[in-house]
Amino acid sequence: MTNLDKYTKPSVAVDLAIMTVIDGDLHVLLVNRPEDDVAGWAMPGGFVHIDEAPEDSVERVLSEKVGAKPVHFEQLATYGALGRDPRGRVVSIVYLALCPPEVLRDADLAKVVIDWEGEIGGPAVAQMNGARLPLAFDHAAILGDVVKRLRGKLDYSPIAFALLPDRFTLREVQEVHEAILGKPLNKPPFRRKLLDRGMIVPTGEFETGSAYRPAKLFEVKSKE
C-alpha cells in the first residue's frame, strides 16, 4: 500500500444472502466465481453507485443476477475488515433476503451447514450435493451471522412466512422453523404458539394431493 492510498477511499458494495428452505434444510443462493478472479463460491453482490441508495443497489443486483424478487429483505450488517477482498478496499453492506424455494428453481443453491461446535456464533459451511463448497472472501463468517440472525428473530417476527408460499400448512411452518434452528420441535406447543400469536388465519381450504388426512391451509393475516 502506497502513501497515496491514504487519500483515496473504500468502495461500498452490497452482498445478498438469499436464503430459502428446501426439504428441511436451509439453503443459500451462491454464484461460482471464475478462477482468474477471486476463486470460490460467493453471495451475489455489486457496488453501490454514487446515485443509488444501498437498497436500490440490492434491487439492481436482484434483477440482474436473480430475476425474482424476495418476499422479505432486511439489512444484516456491514463488513469492512482490511484484507477481506484481495482486489482492493471494499466495505460490504450485507442484506438478508428470504424467498420461497419455487422462486429460485434455476439458481445454484447451496445447503448451509452451521459449524458451531458447542459455542454459538461460528462460521457456516456450504455444501452442494454433499460436497463442501469453498467460499470466497469472508462469506463463511457472514453466513454464520446470517443463521444467527435468522435463529434470533424466528419466534418474534414473521420471517418464517417469507420462506413459504402464500398458503401453507402448520406442518410446513414447523419444517421451516426446524430447518433454521437445526433441531426438532414438539408439535402441540408449536401449533399453539403459532395460533395464539394471531398472525395467521385459516383460509378455509385444505391441502390436496396428500395420501392421508389433508391439513388446513393458512395464510398470513393482512395488516388492516
Locate 69 and state its grid cell. Answer: 424478487
Annotation marks residue 35 as catalytic:
no
* Total chain residues near DNA (CB under 7 A): 18
DSSP letter (8 states) at residue 138? T
Q: Exposed (0-12), middle (13-18) or buried (19+): which is 47, by Cβ within 10 Å?
A: middle
Q: How far is the CB of 187 from DNA (least distance, A)?
A: 5
Residue 34 neighbours by CB under 8 Å, 6+ apart: none
Question: CA-CA distance, 36 to 34, in Å (whole number)?
Answer: 6
- Report the distance separating Cα 19 and Cα 11, nearest Å: 25
DSSP-assigned letters across all residues of 85-131: STTS-EEEEEEEEE--GGGGTTS-EEEEEE---SSS---EEEEETTE
Q: Which of 35, 102, 117, 119 is catalytic?
A: 117
Q: Are 2 and 100 in contact (CB under 8 A)?
A: no
- Indicate the residue among 94 and 114 with the shorter CB distance to a second copy: 94
Check binding of 72 to a second copy (CB under 8 A).
no
Q: Which stretch binds a second copy (CB under 8 A): 77-85, 112-120, 184-192, 211-219?
A: 77-85
Q: Exactly one of 170, 176, 180, 194 binds DNA (CB under 7 A); which one?
A: 170
CB of 166 to a second copy, least distance (A): 26
Q: How many H helices and E strands in the chain?
A: 5, 12
Report the nearest approach of a second copy to the CB of residue 11 (Å). 6
Is 82 a residue that touches a second copy (CB under 8 A)? yes
Binding partner of 169, given DNA, a second copy, none, CB within 5-8 angstroms per partner class = DNA
Could you tell me the smallest distance in angstroms from the CB atom of residue 219 to a second copy? 24
* The entry of a second copy, DNA, none that residue 206 binds, CB within 5 to 8 Å by partner kind: DNA
Does 210 engage in binding with DNA (CB under 7 A)? yes
Query: Binds 12, which of a second copy, DNA, none (CB < 5 to 8 A, cut-off by type)?
Result: a second copy
Instruction: Report what 212 binds from DNA, a second copy, none; CB cut-off 5-8 Å by kind.
Output: DNA
3-state secondary structure labels for all residues of 148-197: HHHHHHCCCCCHHHHCCCCCECHHHHHHHHHHHHCCCCCHHHHHHHHHHH
Q: Which residues bind a second copy (CB under 8 A)?
A: 1, 5-12, 47-54, 75, 77-78, 80-82, 89, 91, 93
**Where do contacts with DNA occur on this chain (CB under 7 A)?**
169-171, 186-189, 192-193, 196, 206, 210-216
Q: Which residues are catalytic?
A: 117
